[in-house]
């Protein structure tokens, strides 16, 4: 907006499915998704602008520093309900998850839960920030958030011995990663193309990197 006087960029939330629908219907010139497009969503044009690692987080006081994928699946499906079965203290586990339609939830479920179901008693939050605040205030909680949001009130645990970092996500060693996508109803043109080009520029990518994302050097289509 600084470089384009008279242009207003309005950003609204609502989840990745909402982003897709807004792009398809034309309600938004750009729909934002934090997951890959589904097969039935091929009627929009995607551009990957960055990659994000999803960190599994526990309270800073929790001594558990890592879990296996099998343990994590067991915790979120309700098969493991006490921290002692994951190398922690004899305390109940409080599971915090995102709502259906969330790109973060979709990527986490695809990688970790598979064909299983998140336990019905899990606390559902509608944003990464809400999950972070909940875990930061509950010594027994576990949740997942974008890596860039992790602060010293929580601990990001290793998965199968691999810590969530930009390097491990970029190399593919850390498995819970997802693309950040701009979706448009047709081929981007005019100010829409200029905005996407700005986000893919060195300056735009640096801004994303400063906010905890992994830069997309090529901006290749999905």
**pLDDT the model gives residue 13:** 82
Q: Where are the alpha helices (DSSP H) in 63-201?
A: 69-77, 103-108, 128-136, 166-171, 190-200
**pLDDT the model gives residue 211:** 86
Separation in Å, CA 75 to CA 102, 192, 221: 20, 43, 35
pLDDT at 108 over 80: yes
**pLDDT the model gives residue 212:** 85
| Angstrom distance (rounded) from CA 57 to CA 135 | 7
Q: Which of 99-108, 116-125, 179-188, 192-201 has the lowest mean pLDDT?
A: 99-108
- Residue of 130, 98, 103, 99 whose CA lies nearest to 17: 103
Separation in Å, CA 84 to CA 2, 52, 53, 63, 67: 53, 30, 27, 11, 12
pTM higher than the cut 0.75: yes
> What is the per-residue pLDDT across 169-178, written as a single tens digit (0 to 9) for each?
989 999 999 9
Coil, helix or strand at residue 221: coil
């Amino acid at each position: 907006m600084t470089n384009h006087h008279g242009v207003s960029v309005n950003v609204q939330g609502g989840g990745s499915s909402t982003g897709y629908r807004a792009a398809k219907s034309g309600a938004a010139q750009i729909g934002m998704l934090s997951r890959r497009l589904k097969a039935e969503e091929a009627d929009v044009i995607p551009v990957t602008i960055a990659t994000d690692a999803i960190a599994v987080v526990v309270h800073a006081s929790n001594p558990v520093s890592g879990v296996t994928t099998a343990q994590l699946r067991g915790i979120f499906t309700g098969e493991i309900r006490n921290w002692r079965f994951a190398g922690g203290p004899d305390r109940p586990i409080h599971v915090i998850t995102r709502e259906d339609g969330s790109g973060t939830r979709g990527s986490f479920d695809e990688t970790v839960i598979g064909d299983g179901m998140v336990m019905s008693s899990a606390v559902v939050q509608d944003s990464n920030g809400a999950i972070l605040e909940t875990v930061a205030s509950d010594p027994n909680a576990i949740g997942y958030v974008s890596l860039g949001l992790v602060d010293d009130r929580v601990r990001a645990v290793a998965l199968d011995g691999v810590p969530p970092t930009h390097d491990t996500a970029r190399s593919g060693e850390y498995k819970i990663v997802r693309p950040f996508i701009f979706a448009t109803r047709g081929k981007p043109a005019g100010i829409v193309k200029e905005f996407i080009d700005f986000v893919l520029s060195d300056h735009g990518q640096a801004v994303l990197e400063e906010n905890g994302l992994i830069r997309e050097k090529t901006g290749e289509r999905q």
